[in-house]
Amino acid sequence: MRKAALYARVSTQLQEKERTIDSQLAELRRQIAKNGDELIKEYIDDGYSGAYLDRPAMEEMRQALKTDTFEVIYFHAADRIARKSLHQDIIISDILRHKKRVIISDKDYEKNPENEFALKVFGAVSEFERAKIVERTQRGRLHKLRQGVVPAHGLLIFGYDYVRLTPTTPPGYVINEKEAATVRYIFENYANGVMGGNEICRTLEQKNIPTSMGKPLWSAPYISRMLKNTAYTGTRYYNRTTQEEPPADGTYKKRRKTVMRDRSEWIAIKMPPIISQKLFNKAQENTDDLMCHFS
């Protein structure tokens, strides 16, 4: 049994006066009962024109799409949704986008062969809009990075505190001196061969030093990412990786591999250095025994 809602509308004062909306309601209630659904909510625009979308009950119904108020919505006919077919398409696509079912004239919209083309158009338009949003967001982010602006939502990097964007100051990183001392301890002991990765982990745990996430346990992959993080020498690189191109035959892959971009595409952002380039280079000579690469 699905949670169902119905929407009914009449436009003219005459229709409102003669209560022709009652016949719509009766029919929709009959359909809901016949299909074994449970009527949860009735949205009724009594005396509102279908030429406009800003109707009280219609607006309430569209807001409810974001909730679990109902799973399926019933309409007596397409022209009860809106007078113009373009407005009908907007409402229907909005309902489908929120994973609700649509019943019009007692027919499931998605299972009606006549609507197959419309569903393909809705899907294509939705995908196109998502792609545009992603492209605009990515383009804006890369533009700011090339100007040397740290992203507004920074990553947690052990040894640094992230300073958020304010009306007067840009976002950025500052050295956390307490954590920076641990960073130097890790690099110096590892680069000079005093400790291996696992030994460093156990030592930090014995000293009750938490990770950047506040966790008490350290791991070799975590230490590896730190040892290969160029931010500690004063430069953090963005735009280093991307997703592999989809197959040429159009085969859909849920998960695509992350691949390295050409170095010419990397974007360097200056950071306050914690260690010297010389110490960093020396540590890189001994990182083969650590299990994870930094990306």
46-68 pLDDT tens trace: 888 888 888 899 999 999 999 99
Query: Does an H or E element contain 29, and which?
Result: helix 21-34
The confidence score (pLDDT) of residue 208 equals: 95
The CATH topology of domain 3-111 is Rossmann fold (3.40.50)
What's the length of the chain? Answer: 295
Radius of gyration of the chain (CA): 30
pLDDT tens per residue, range 84-105: 877 888 899 899 999 999 999 8
Ranges of residues in the chain whose predicted pLDDT is under 70: 12-19, 116, 118-131, 152, 245-256, 286-295
The confidence score (pLDDT) of residue 54 equals: 84
Other residues' Cβ atoms within 10 Å of the Cβ of residue 142: 14
Evaluate whether 289 touches 197 at the Cβ level (below 8 Å): yes
The confidence score (pLDDT) of residue 290 equals: 47
Residue ranges of domains in the chain: 3-111, 160-229+271-289
Report how far residue 50's alpha carbon sits from residue 217's, in angstroms, rounded to the nearest whole number.
Answer: 62
Indicate whether this model's pTM tops 0.85. Answer: no
| Residue 206 burial (10 A CB sphere; 0-12, 13-18, 19+) | exposed
- The CA–CA distances, whole Å, from 92 to 62, 192, 245, 256, 260 equal 10, 66, 33, 32, 41
Report how far residue 219's alpha carbon sits from residue 291's, in angstroms, rounded to the nearest whole number.
Answer: 10
Report how far residue 69's alpha carbon sits from residue 4's, in angstroms, rounded to the nearest whole number.
Answer: 8
What tokens does 272 get? 């306050």
